[in-house]
Amino acid sequence: MCVCEGIETRTAPIMSQRSFASAEFALKKKRTRREKFLAEMERVVPWAKLIAVIEPAYPTSGRVGRQPMGVPKMLRMYLLQQWYGLADEALEDAIYDSQALRDFVGIDLSRESVPDATTLLKFRRLLEVGELTKAMFEEINAHLQQQGLLMRAGTIVDATIIAAPSSTKNSSGERDPDMHQAKKGNQWHFGMKAHIAVDAESGIVHSMITTAANVNDVTQAGALLHGQETDAFGDAGYRGVAKREEAQGPQWHIAIQPGKRKILSDSALGQMIEKVEQIKASIRAKVEHPFHVVKNLFRHKKARYRGLAKNNAQLLSLFGLANLVIAKRQLLAIPGGGAY
């Protein structure tokens, strides 16, 4: 481990001497799912690249000459927070409670304490204000492209509603002005939308936009394109996208309305149309995987912060980390996990 201008620059938690608790933990016979996941993330996250994104904006000195916690440990704490959907105080407690989490962050309680919730809050605000989560998202995708896992021929677009608190029992007495309600099916939802575009080959998210929940999906389709795709896919909510000036370029393959699909005849033409719809649906299925990872594996089903800006910053982190989970199998097959 080396220290350069007060900033710790190592990329993995290395301890010169294990504590008794850590040594006892290492000798246990059962390996938990948490340990397995963290070991996999240790290998696939491009630590050096992400640290290089953050270090230029990270303070090199604290109050009264106190040195701030190094970027590597703070980054690891931040990623744990995203993976496990924990609030600042809950993450602090979890690290104290779990030897697996302490080993991942690189904290030995016999020598140092866990950074408190306020320290993590300041680090998260640093990422938000400097738009560093966007830079991290782009760095992860650049890394995946270098590994040959992000193609450019096809794009799938979709959106999901993320609920926000609708209560007015807060200091302002109002609901979040950046959020809005929208009707999906027969149910009303209050919150925001995450619009994403994924690579049609790998399912990796290459673009993400957040809006209020009432914004129509088709209005954001053009902004999600990277410009190199030849084909683009979307569900029936994107009807008419091919006529929009900002969405010109690729050939659009949009699903027909469910009602029209139900009444297709059994004729040869009807069967052919049904077959085409099944093929389009099988391609579009890849866009559901990132939503599953973020909402179910990372437990992000509700907006955590007030306002679109903070939630947008967090979602960029979440979808960037979801890309690593989606590409995990291929990355682990690369010597060193592909992280360099």
Which pLDDT tens digit goes with each residue over 261-272?
A: 999 889 999 999
pLDDT of residue 62: 58
Euclidean distance between CA atoms 317 and 78, whole angstroms? 10
**Helix (H/G/I), strand (E/B), else coil: 328:** helix
Q: Which residues, including other chains, have CB under 8 Å from residue 302's CB and lie 6 or more apart?
A: 162, 163, 164, 165, 191
Instruction: Please report, for the chain, the start and end positions of each structural domain, with discontinuous segments joined by +.
Output: 3-130, 152-307
Tell whether pTM > 0.95: no
Which pLDDT tens digit goes with each residue over 48-71?
A: 999 999 999 998 865 544 566 899
Cα 149-151-155 angle, rounded to 5 deg? 125
Stretches where the chain sits below pLDDT 50 are: 1-10, 12-17, 64-65
- Which tokens is 201 given? 């080959």
Looking at residue 275, what DSSP letter applies?
A: H
- Least Cα distance to 213 among 235, 172, 259, 182 occurs for 182
pLDDT of residue 63: 55
pLDDT of residue 60: 80
